[in-house]
Structure 1
Amino acid sequence: MTDTAAALRDLDAALAAVVDAQLRDGDVGGLGARDLLSVMDAAASIVRRAEALLIEAVGEVDARSDQRDLSVRMTTEVGCRSVKELVQRTTRFSSRRAGEFVTAGRGIRRTTALATGERLPAVFPALREAVIDGAVGVDGVVAVAGPLASLPVGRDAIIAADEELAAAARGDGADGMPPLAADDLRAQSLVWAAYLDQDGPEPRDERAMRKRGLTLGVCRDGLVPVRGALLPETAGQLQRIFDSVNNPKLEGPAGPRFTEHNGDADPDARCDTRTRPQKQHDALATALTVAAASGQLPTIGGAAPTLVVSAREADVANGVGTAHVQGIDEPVSIAVARQIACTGGVQRVRLGANGRIIAITVNDWVFTHVQRRAIVLRDGECVIPGCHVPAAWCEIHHVIEAARGGPTHTDNGVLLCWFHHRTIDTGGWKVRMKNGVPEILGPVWWDPGQRWRPATKSPVRRRDLVEAAHPG
């Protein structure tokens, strides 16, 4: 073990003793406000200094892995495909955090000239000094390196930005502001980037094409963050999809209602309580479902891009437990599995005690195109009052679940949009079939009389009702 590693092990042991004493026998909740903030400040300082060493080490690993000859790359020596994977295995960091250390290492590590052996300055030398002094951590380095590292400008311009941003990170900036947090540092870096590269060497459209992107983050608390930048025409098309699916007009037993209301109106009178971002999420979910079912997308392994949700059969039957979506690590509720099963086929896989696959059976619960056209003729659109998602964008819901013996028959299928299908068991709306016609029971706040009402959204059905009410 090197002297550096040994010294760090000693520090780790000392820190472990402090942590153990405080968290096992101490009481952080009993600290006063000033002491609590002091603990946070001291712990953060230790983290930043540890990150400084880790950034430098990752930068060295990155340099030793950047070799033309694969056999001499450090990543190859230790059996990893990339520097990021090596960092993940060594540190147990997430992929995203490992990538941040790689980015930071490239920004502040000093390199060596191959011809002369001379030590060259880092891309951001002032920021490097701030990292060594413990003023900036890995997130601060990434906040600067992200916007500035690839700018097509001269070295002097980068150095000027580096010096000012490092001073701001220390709290020594010309504006007299206290030390900047990473988000504020990124905001200033973006200002510098715009100032240094006002026009850029590429036309605007070409730059937009180069910078476009969309990424899915790591699932946390049942949600996957989405980040990226859309081209204007892509954003415009997506907005049109949002507008076509989301309709603010709502209907109740006493006539039309609207989601917008003034301060004097009773908010419980609203039929749809979703926020605009929630509605846009649901519209995107609807569009993705329609696109996947269109048959126009490329296949994966010879099959359409099908959403695969797995769960234990007993959990689905009992409505408890969890399910798993292919490609997403975090488990989802059984309600998700039941919704997917309602609109698709179910493949039962029977496993032996040793995990061997013993039997495979497939139940195809998908309504045929002929059945769907008939249900569309009858229902018109999503059968929930006030929802005007068109039939082409709706799913067909088994009123009696197929898993519980409900038939895939027009007398047991109704049109529901993605949102109302997803929440049919929890949203307060109930659907039943009576003589082959869907009937709706709304929540108490929507219909205090609690009457089952036939769904009459089909233009043909509405015309029949008008003529029945006004014969001749």
Structure 2
Amino acid sequence: MTHLADALAELGDALAGLSASGCEALRGAGDADVLSALAAAARIRRLAEAVVVEATAVIVERDETAPHADRVTTRYGCRNLGELVQRATRVSGRTAADVVTAAKAVRRSTAPSTGETLPPQFPAMRDALVAGDAGLDGIAAVTSVFRGSLVGREALLAADVELASAARGSEAGPVSADELRAMAQVWAAFLDPDGAEPAETRAMRKRGLTIGRQGADGLVPLRGALLPEVAAQLQLGFDSVLNPKANDPAPCFAEAAEPDGPVEAAADTRTAAQRRHDELAVLLGAASSSGQLPMLGGAAPTLVVHVREEDLASGSGYAHLPGDDVPISIAAARHLACAGAVQRVVTGESGRILSIGTLDRIFTHHQRRAITLRDGECLIPGCDVPPQWCEIHHVQEHSRGGPTHTDNGVLLC
């Protein structure tokens, strides 16, 4: 083991012993002492990251000039340098990629013809890294902004000096990695004003959205990349659905309950991803019913689910979506029946339509006024929630034939 590795190992053992006793001591320390310990530990982390980045830079240089079979990554059974870093440091794949990016940006390569040590791409940021002023996050934030940029060498060095100075700290104090990224973006926009156009062109070419086929898990994969303005508009839609001041709470998909079991209010245990999924369903439904979309077959685009009446009532069997041979669960049909309307079609043995009728699920505003006048507040015993905070529920479930009538509607919070 080298002298540096021995020294780092001894330092690690010392820190391990300090951590065991220090963490308990922090519980009784004052706020200033806790913050001081936090800042000191963060500096040690940045200094350790400097060694990690430099070690990775050495491996980058050695692998560049070695045959594939003699490369460090190959000899240690790794597919690439990121995997090698991940195994050696136990970090995530994302962090390992940042280490490789930072290593390539601050490494000092050797000229093959003269053997001279060449300066790194970001010499000032490298000095800040070695001094413990800028950590891995800061180096990766700066280098990622200028990746693929057409900024000249002199201009890049000028930006490097200013960004490193900000990382070390000015009168306002040192900046965070996010602030370094923002400052680097300003420099990149100033030094390469035409750089945004190629990036926009690439974004236009790579934009897309793909809807896969339903898998064995009953889910349909959705993947793609949105333009920033499209993503921003979608986020605004999400915000409007989740707005706590909205008149109507955002509906959510819930697991199927027992057919005759009680319906109880439960805490929202959905993950952030599950909430976004349910919000997207709300937005799609609102767009379809807005009347602003092009007509399909002379009517607004309406999702139709085919299910037998007896299956919907019993909760067994399957339902079918248009244009998809893979059946869906009855629970999915119940979700749609709860949010829309049930249209009952009676067919004969030969397939001839004998009758067709539509039973709306949503109570009209006239019916709501009448039910509000009758009930006054939530009908749950002991609950005094006012009517404007209540919803009108079917006593006999609409999906089981319950009519949308004032005699079959009650106020429930």
Matches within 5 A, 1:354-373: 366-368=318-320
One-letter amino acid of the counterpart of residue 96, structure 2:
A
One-letter amino acid of the counterpart of residue 15, structure 1:
L
Residue of structure 2 equivalent to 1:251: none
Can you list the C-alpha shifts for 1:3-58, whole angstroms capped at 9, x where unaligned?
111111111122122112223xx431100122111111111111111111111001
**Equivalents in 2 of 1:79, 1:7: separation in Å?**
28
Alpha-carbon shift at residue 205 of structure 1 (Å): 4.5
Can you list the C-alpha shifts for 1:103-141, whole angstroms capped at 9, x where unaligned?
111111111111111101111000011111110110010
Residue of structure 2 equivalent to 1:160: 158
Give the 3-state SS of the residue equivalent to 2:250 in structure 1.
Answer: coil
Could you tell me which of 226, 236, 243 is aligned with 1:230? 226
Residue of structure 2 equivalent to 1:178: 173
**Equivalents in 2 of 1:114, 1:186: separation in Å?**
33
Question: Do the aligned partners of 1:383 and 1:457 also contact (CA within 8 Å) in 2?
Answer: no
Q: Percent identity?
A: 40
Task: Tell me whether 1:281 sits opposite 2:277 in the alignment.
Answer: yes
**Equivalents in 2 of 1:66, 1:272: separation in Å?**
55
**Equivalents in 1 of 2:335, 2:251: separation in Å?**
20
Question: Do the aligned partners of 2:73 and 2:81 also contact (CA within 8 Å) in 1?
Answer: yes
**Equivalents in 2 of 1:192, 1:5: separation in Å?**
38
Aligned residues between the structures: 300
Alpha-carbon shift at residue 168 of structure 1 (Å): 0.5
Residue of structure 1 equivalent to 2:246: 260
Question: Do the aligned partners of 2:241 and 2:250 also contact (CA within 8 Å) in 1?
Answer: no
**Equivalents in 1 of 2:36, 2:223: separation in Å?**
34
**Equivalents in 2 of 1:59, 1:160: separation in Å?**
23
Question: Do the aligned partners of 1:107 and 1:149 also contact (CA within 8 Å) in 2?
Answer: no
TM-score of the superposition, structure 1-length normalised? 0.53
Give the 3-state SS of the residue equivalent to 1:272 in structure 2.
Answer: coil
Residue of structure 2 equivalent to 1:12: 12
Matches within 5 A, 1:3-402: 3-23=3-23, 26-67=24-65, 69-172=67-170, 176-200=171-195, 203=198, 205-209=200-204, 230-231=226-227, 235=231, 239=234, 260-261=246-247, 270-272=248-250, 280-284=276-280, 366-368=318-320, 382-384=336-338, 387-388=339-340
TM-score of the superposition, structure 2-length normalised? 0.59
Could you say which structure has the greater relative contact order, defined with CA pairs below 8 angstroms and 6 or more residues apart? 1
Question: Do the aligned partners of 2:141 and 2:177 also contact (CA within 8 Å) in 1?
Answer: yes
Alpha-carbon shift at residue 451 of structure 1 (Å): 5.7
- Compared CA separation, residues 448 and 193, structure 1 to 2 (3 A): closer
- Compared CA separation, residues 383 and 140, structure 1 to 2 (3 A): same
Can you list the C-alpha shifts for 1:431-454, whole angstroms capped at 9, x where unaligned?
xxxxxxxxxx99986768976144
One-letter amino acid of the counterpart of residue 18, structure 1:
L
Question: Do the aligned partners of 1:380 and 1:457 also contact (CA within 8 Å) in 2?
Answer: no
RMSD in angstroms over aligned alpha carbons?
A: 4.9
- Compared CA separation, residues 452 and 91, structure 1 to 2 (3 A): same
Alpha-carbon shift at residue 260 of structure 1 (Å): 3.3
Question: Do the aligned partners of 2:189 and 2:196 also contact (CA within 8 Å) in 1?
Answer: no
Can you list the C-alpha shifts for 1:184-207, whole angstroms capped at 9, x where unaligned?
111111111111121139656524
Question: Do the aligned partners of 1:168 and 1:177 also contact (CA within 8 Å) in 2?
Answer: no
One-letter amino acid of the counterpart of residue 260, structure 1:
A
Larger radius of gyration: 2
- Compared CA separation, residues 139 and 195, structure 1 to 2 (3 A): same
Give the 3-state SS of the residue equivalent to 1:61 in structure 2.
Answer: helix
**Equivalents in 1 of 2:78, 2:336: separation in Å?**
51
Question: Do the aligned partners of 1:124 and 1:159 also contact (CA within 8 Å) in 2?
Answer: yes
Stretches of structure 2 lacking an aligned partner (at least 5 in a row): 210-221, 253-267, 285-315, 343-360, 362-378, 407-413
Give the 3-state SS of the residue equivalent to 2:337 in structure 1.
Answer: coil
**Equivalents in 2 of 1:192, 1:89: separation in Å?**
35
Can you list the C-alpha shifts for 1:369-404, whole angstroms capped at 9, x where unaligned?
69999x99xx898333xx45x89xxxxxxxxxxxxx
Question: Do the aligned partners of 1:171 and 1:180 also contact (CA within 8 Å) in 2?
Answer: yes
Residue of structure 2 equivalent to 1:455: 398
Give the 3-state SS of the residue equivalent to 1:383 in structure 2.
Answer: helix
Alpha-carbon shift at residue 156 of structure 1 (Å): 0.6
Residue of structure 1 equivalent to 2:345: none
More strand, by proportion = 1
**Equivalents in 2 of 1:456, 1:145: separation in Å?**
58
**Equivalents in 1 of 2:91, 2:207: separation in Å?**
27
**Equivalents in 1 of 2:230, 2:72: separation in Å?**
42
**Equivalents in 2 of 1:208, 1:169: separation in Å?**
31
Residue of structure 2 equivalent to 1:426: none
Give the 3-state SS of the residue equivalent to 1:112 in structure 2.
Answer: coil
Alpha-carbon shift at residue 273 of structure 1 (Å): 7.0
Alpha-carbon shift at residue 63 of structure 1 (Å): 2.5
Give the 3-state SS of the residue equivalent to 2:27 in structure 1.
Answer: helix
